[in-house]
Amino acid sequence: MTGIEKGVYELLGQYSKARVGASQSIGLIDGEWREMNVGEGFYRVRMVDEWGKVNLNRAKEETLRLIFTNLDIEEPRRTILVDSILDWRDEDLLHRLNGAENDYYLSLSPSYTARDGPFDLVEELLWVRGMTPELFYGTEEDGIERVGIKDIFTVDSQQEKVNLLTASAGVIHSLTGVSLEKSRAFVEERKKVSGGMLPDLLKLLSLSMSEGAERQFVINNPSVITIEAAGFYPGSISRHQLKGVVRFEGGGSGFDLIRWVDR
């Protein structure tokens, strides 16, 4: 809990210093773990901008297909995933050609039904036809890394476009097809840019507005932040992990806790 509270305190301080309407650097909101001591133990905290991910409930069919193609998910699994995600979140009981509805999920053991509504959690993808733990969590084999789908999507973003100011290398790779290595180099270079506009950041990726990137990305001050904290005590093999999704008001005047996960 200390880590979450400290994260909120530091973010409120960062927002209060930012000039209203100005594009600020991402500062603390970079997804990197920071370690701090408390008593005889220590805790780690990281902060992630939910606007830097793809909204799972708003992503169009072509966006889902693009992401799974860039993540090297082969057919027919790619189409099964796209159709099944669309079936999971729509309200009807009719399944697409390669999708799934209740008749499929009730045939499984253990059985369950499709939500037929918006995803409440990204983890619900594990219940969707075509998804595997390896695809969801990501893998690394023979030096080849596959980005986990869990790190691409969010249900807490309020916009369709992705904030290029905070998007991770995995999100950028999945949306643009730019290699993971080059996307990571961009993330490092982005740290040196303060107040840059969208075209300036796209140039670092060797992309232009004319290539359709303006339909995928936007520059926004982060305001919906996941603060994740894990506590460790000397000699113990267990840890306590908490996650809070927090919406900050303009100018750091306040915040709302919109999601809480105690692990």
Residue 149 DSSP one-character state:
G
C-alpha radius of gyration, the chain, whole number: 19
Alpha carbons 176 and 172: distance in angstroms, whole number: 6
Tokens 């919109």, located at residue: 258
Q: What is the pTM of this model?
A: 0.85
Q: What single-letter amino acid sits at 168?
A: S
Alpha carbons 168 and 193: distance in angstroms, whole number: 16
Tokens 């893998």, located at residue: 139
Alpha carbons 172 and 185: distance in angstroms, whole number: 11
Measured from the Cβ of residue 38, the count of other Cβ atoms closer than 10 Å reads 13
For 237, phi then psi, to 5°, come to -90, -5
From first to last of the 263 residues of the chain, give the pLDDT tens digit: 555 666 665 665 665 555 444 444 467 788 888 887 777 778 888 899 999 999 999 999 999 999 999 999 999 999 999 999 999 999 999 999 999 999 999 999 999 999 999 999 999 999 999 999 999 999 888 778 889 999 999 999 988 899 999 999 999 999 999 999 999 999 999 888 766 788 889 989 988 776 678 889 999 888 899 998 888 777 666 667 888 898 887 655 678 888 887 76
104 three-class SS: helix
